[in-house]
Amino acid sequence: MSENRQHGFFALRHYLVLAVLALLFVGLVGRAAWLQVVQQDFLLDEGSQRQLRVLTTPAYRGSILDREGNPLAISTPVDSVWANPRQALLDRDGLRKTARLLKLDYSELLKRLQQRARKEFVYIKRRVEPELAKQAATAAEGVYLQREYDRFYPAGEVVAHVVGFTNIDGVGQEGLERVYQQQLKAVPGKRKVIRNRKGEVVENIAQLQAARNGEDVITSIDMRLQYLTYRSLAATLRRFNARSGSAVLLDAHSGEVLAIANLPSYNPNQRRKSSAAARRNRAITDVFEPGSTMKPFTLAAAMDQGLFTASSRIDTRPGYMRVTGYPIRDFRNYGVLDLAGILRKSSNVGAAKVAQSMPAEALWQAFRDYGFGEDTGVEFPAASSGYFSHYSNWRPLDQATMAFGYGLSVSVLQLARAYSIFANDGKLVDLTLLRREPGTPVPARQVMKPETARQIRTMLEQVVGPEGTARKAAISGYRVAGKTGTVKKTAPGGGYLDDRYLSVFAGIAPASDPRLVMAVMIDDPDKDKGYYGGAVAAPVFREVMTQALRLLNVSPDAVEAGGQLALGPLQSEYPGGRQ
């Protein structure tokens, strides 16, 4: 009996096991059927989400080039390192190696990934040199690379103020990078791919959007002349222990800016180390009182109105005058001067008397016509139009001091543009930082009588002559026209400082057939080392212009039989003319 009961127990257990296995089999079959039939679409979608990805196809930003095609700003390939937190957090040892290679704090990286554990994409470090990025990505599971382009500026600080820079996302922040953002910017593409569990692309499915590279911008800058200008400016600031300086070199006829240099400067490749003051394009954004460089425009306005001629004479004795009780002085008593003599000796009294002979409205309108108080045509962030008040606000003293450059303000770029009027026989051109193709019409307007512009230009040659204030601007073999300015700096609370100056020079070469115009401003040179415009700023003009004329193959002026340069019609009348 006991054996039968035991046999029945084992048989029952056997059937029970078979029943359980049968139920499991039926359950599996049913589950499979359910998944294959009822949830087929859902599972396919889930699988696709784990394998299909939409990736960004990188595009590169357009280059910024000088007029000869030399790169000023280019995009270089780099890799950004990113991670899938859920994968990377499983490989702590590898993640530690990645952090060490990228010089990151491991604890901070770990915390960042843990905080974003539900995401599938987290940047670890952007814009990494490709070989280093590859080592960092292979060190840990769940760490990958994304190709991007970094901005590189080959000329560094030499042309930084013109070019500007972009942020880490390739958006222009300053300079031409900002002005021409829409033209330069790249539009990344999109493509659908299949990735394996390691994140590797195993198949391209479709191109959703084609990548579009940015367009190049060709500037008017000539890097040969830019280097010359920057180098000369830097040497002058060191020599005279000056605070800052700016210089602009123009093509007289096309209005193209060939060089524009500022100091202090900064390296756009390492801009985090620079200050806001160093990044300012002072030649375009900063303004100053131009001093005696305004005198040629005062004389031109009077000549255009028929009040004076080149042979008119002004009595500047005894070397000073008073306007509403305020003294206006010359360096010494120059006696009776013609208009050329007023410029040659830089007579404040002579210029003020000429200005007083005109109605205030007439002088104001002339200065407005010459471009003072208006844009130069250059599109640039924070470009200044200067300060030039309406004549209705002038007092008699204002009209007198404006004649020699006090009471109004200009930028270095504005000053250079104004002197191009004398180079262009009375036409004022709009300036540009972009290259103008030969034959392209240049926006310009006639603002001065051609004969007046030519006569003033010839008078300005005497300023560079042996008896003028700009002898150090003279260039061997070429006739040069220009004017110096030595300006007292304004005091913080108003008025002027007695021992702080701006040294200014603006000039044209060759004066016989103008090709180039240049303006230079040196801020706060050491008084003990020299501060006059003719001693500080004029030599910068001479050094740069000497090389520029040769590089541009500008022929020297004709030499007479006696070995002297052929002189202009007015210059030959005066013993103080250039010999």
pLDDT category of residue 46 using cuts at 50, 70 and 90? very low
| Residue 123 CB partners (closer than 8 Å, separation 6+) | 80, 81, 82
Residue-wise DSSP of 269-284: GGGGGS-TTTT--HHH
Q: What is the pLDDT of residues 104-113, one digit of tens each?
A: 999 999 899 9
Q: What DSSP state is assigned to residue 268? A: G
* pLDDT value of position 10: 64
* pLDDT value of position 447: 98
* pLDDT value of position 576: 30
% of the chain beyond a pLDDT of 70? 88
Q: Is 384 designated active site?
A: no
Q: What is the pLDDT of residues 331-377, one digit of tens each?
A: 999 999 999 999 999 999 999 999 999 999 999 999 999 999 999 99
498, 256, 515, 508: which is closest to 377 by C-alpha? 256
Residue showing tokens 């008025």: 495
Burial class (CB in 10 A: 0-12, 13-18, 19+), 96: middle
H or E element, residue 56:
strand 52-57
* pLDDT value of position 15: 73
Residue-wise DSSP of 153-168: -TTGGGSHHHH-EE-T
pLDDT category of residue 30 using cuts at 50, 70 and 90? low
Domain with CATH 3.40.710.10 in the chain: 223-573
Domain with CATH 3.90.1310.10 in the chain: 54-218
Q: What is the pLDDT of residues 253-271, one digit of tens each?
A: 999 999 999 999 999 998 8
Round the CA-based radius of gyration of the chain to a whole number and report it. Answer: 37
For residue 510, say if its preceding peptide bond is cis, omega within 30 degrees of 0.
yes
pLDDT at 515 over 50: yes
pLDDT at 199 over 60: no
Asked if the 223-573 domain carries CATH number 3.40.710.10, the reply is yes
Burial class (CB in 10 A: 0-12, 13-18, 19+), 431: buried
* pLDDT value of position 25: 76
User: What SS3 class is residue 539?
Assistant: helix
pLDDT at 404 over 90: yes
pLDDT at 220 over 90: yes
* pLDDT value of position 33: 66
* pLDDT value of position 169: 86
What residue ranges in 210-302 does DSSP mark as E strands? 217-218, 244-251, 257-263
Task: Find out whether 412 and 283 touch, Cβ atoms under 8 Å.
Answer: yes
Average pLDDT over residues 13-29: 75
More confident residue, 138 or 449: 449
More confident residue, 259 or 27: 259
pLDDT category of residue 13 using cuts at 50, 70 and 90? confident
For 415, other C-beta atoms within 10 Å of its C-beta total 31
The catalytic position among 292, 346, 409, 503 is 292
pLDDT averaged over every residue in the chain: 89
Q: Name which CATH class applies to 54-218.
A: alpha beta
